[in-house]
Amino acid sequence: MELRQIQYFIEVAKREHVTEAAVSLHVAQSAVSRQIVNLEAELGVDLFIREGRNVKLTPIGQTFLEHMEEAMKVIDNARREVQEYLDPERGVIRIGFPSSLAAYTLPTVISEFREQHPYVKFELKQNSYTELINAVVKGDLDMALVGPLPRHEKKVKSHILFTESIVALLPASHPLAGQRSITLNQLRDDSFILFPQGYVLRQIVETACKQLGFQPKVSFEGDDIDAIKGLVSAGLGVTLIPEITLIDNLPRSTVRLHVIEPQVTRTVGVIIPSERPLLPAENLFFEFIRDFFKVLDRYQD
């Protein structure tokens, strides 16, 4: 079994089309077909069902694909480890983040890091809270910034960077807009604009409301922080969002108010895999981001 055969097999399985796989691989279709046939002959099983020009994995083909994808991750990590051992200053860091940390937190940290390590490259992936944790567990990401930090996920290690307030964002025309702070109970009868069910920020808001004995009336949902802010700006409801998302970007026709009862907060931190060590470039960034927020916290105190 050759590495080239595995690469061809994975590409065909992903695209379910030999010609499209060949184009993506920049090789002749006949070369791809021949390697697939050789691989099946060596294994003694059919990996694909042929359906005209399309192909589909057999059940054993699907099982084989899962193992080969894991094997390729191991090979890629080994290659990266060798390269970064030779020169960690030219490594690649794959990092994930949610939309609530996209506008300020992550760009600020990466910018500061690149001042000291200009040749380290980043592959950035924005995703939901659960998907980010799963990607770190599976090895698709090296680390992720998340908030709040997971408590019961054994396959990741969590390191807190800071704790931030969840604040209310109201239309400027709202009756409470002139106040400096509010209690959450004062928004009991308002229409809320929140993330969809399953998003961790939705859970934080609903938990806070539940403490006061009510369920927020959700008029609109958005899976992006900027979309939610835009809906509030249009006067379509109120929301509770992390304060850091408003540092440089308070939407027009809105006001930000602190919630004093109950105080709603979230921890923000970085998660890394617990079952494999960080590569040299990854460790450089991991240590940097922890030190960065320690220094920032001292200045804020």
On whether the CB atoms of residues 166 and 200 are closer than 8 A, the answer is no
How many other CB atoms are found less than 10 A from the CB of residue 173? 10
- Residue 20 sits in a domain whose CATH number is 1.10.10.10
Round to whole Å and give the CA distance between 174 and 198. 28
β-bridge partners, 129:
none
In the block, residue with structure tokens 């700006």: 233
**pLDDT tens, the chain, 301 aa long:** 888 899 999 999 999 998 898 899 999 988 988 999 999 999 999 999 988 778 999 999 999 999 998 888 888 878 877 777 667 888 889 999 998 888 788 999 999 999 999 999 999 999 989 999 999 999 899 999 998 999 888 899 999 999 999 999 999 999 999 998 999 999 999 999 999 998 999 999 999 999 999 999 999 998 889 899 999 999 999 999 999 889 877 899 999 999 999 999 999 999 999 988 888 899 999 999 999 988 766 545 4
Residues 243 and 279 in one domain: no
Asked if 138 and 281 sit in the same domain, the reply is yes
Contact of 221 with 194, CB cutoff 8 Å: yes
- The pTM (predicted TM-score) of the whole model is 0.71
Residue 62 lies in a domain: yes
Contact between 241 and 166 (Cβ < 8 Å): yes
Instruction: Please say which residue of 43, 65, 84 terminates a domain.
Output: 84
Residue 150 domain flag: no
Please state the domain count of the chain: 3
Structural domain span for residue 108: 91-143+272-300
Calpha distance 296→280 (Å, rounded): 24
